[in-house]
Amino acid sequence: MASLDDLKKRIASVKSTQKITKAMKMVAAAKLKRAQDSAEKGRPYSEKMNNIILNLSEGISDKENAPKLLSGTGKDQIHLCVVMTSDRGLCGGFNSNIIKKAKSYFSRLSSESKKLKIITVGSKGNDQLKRVFGEKIIENISFKDSKNANFFDAEKVGKIIIEKFQKEEFDICTIFFNQFKNVITQIPQAQQIIPLKADINDKEKSEDNYEFEPDEDEILTNLLPKNISTQIFKAMLENSASEQGARMSAMDNATRNAGEMVDKLTIEYNRSRQAAITKELIEIISGAESL
């Protein structure tokens, strides 16, 4: 059995770990509130953008010559996967869930003998993927310096993707991110952004005839690159809310576990202290008796 001193030290160290996890939980909770707010506030923009594009693509006259970003290159040989993860760890299964989702997608691609290219956003994803898919990663983007997800960063990623698309480096682009549902549930998502897969919702489908200025094609050509950035921004917002949520529940668990451990150790400490005292008493008594 460990000595009293050792037990004391262990209790102290578990307690200080608990303090850290508790503090991290608090910080995550505060940040979660903010991230959740901005994720909710960001939704109208991307929804409206989607609506407009849906209306536009229905109104487009010449489907054959539609912008490539909408209709695709007509091939599906080279896939670009943008895996969006966090820059920091200690957030439970947050990163591994995305990676798992991405990896199963990758293996499906390779079984269909498609070519794969990966862009990782966030350093944690890069760390986990580079061991197996190292040579497939063509770019690693990290926004460690920016405090919150902002549109400027999303635009940077968007520009990189569009540039590569124009150079015909890939045919299909999919982004991987965690969608925030609530604090304990985050759903890993794979969303195809090039060519655009419009989820045609019958309710949203309007019979309205719009007037366009300038014409549909021109608006669409200008709008599609913007939409890519918007979708990425949306993913970033969802991701940052999910990250904080995942961290909060992970740290909550850690705090609880540490508490249990402290309790257990304290009982053990008390028992051995009592045992030591009893032992000393017996020694004294038996010493007195032998006199």
Of 69, 91, 183, 237, the catalytic one is: 91
Whether 173 sits among the annotated catalytic residues: the reply is no
Minimum Å gap between C-beta 38 and another protein is 6
Minimum Å gap between C-beta 211 and another protein is 4
Minimum Å gap between C-beta 235 and another protein is 12
Q: Are 201 and 47 in contact (CB under 8 A)?
A: no
Q: Closest CB to another protein among 99 and 219?
A: 219
The answer for residues whose C-beta is within 8 angstroms of residue 182's C-beta and 6 or more apart is: 245
* Nearest Cα to Cα of residue 178 among 133, 114, 124: 124
Name residue 40's amino acid. E
| Binding footprint of another protein on the chain (CB under 8 A) | 38, 41-42, 44-46, 48-49, 51-52, 55-56, 150-151, 154, 206, 208-214, 218-219, 222-223, 226, 230, 233
Q: Are 147 and 240 in contact (CB under 8 A)?
A: no
User: What one-character DSSP code corresponds to residue 208?
Assistant: P
How many other C-beta atoms are found inside a 10 Å radius of the C-beta of residue 145? 7
Q: How far apart are CA 154 and CA 226, in angstroms?
A: 10
Minimum Å gap between C-beta 201 and another protein is 16
Minimum Å gap between C-beta 206 and another protein is 8
How many other C-beta atoms are found inside a 10 Å radius of the C-beta of residue 70? 20
Q: Closest CB to another protein among 150 and 192?
A: 150
Q: How far apart are CA 121 and CA 176, in angstroms?
A: 10
Tokens representing 64 are: 């054959």
Q: Are 262 and 18 in contact (CB under 8 A)?
A: yes
Catalytic positions are: 91
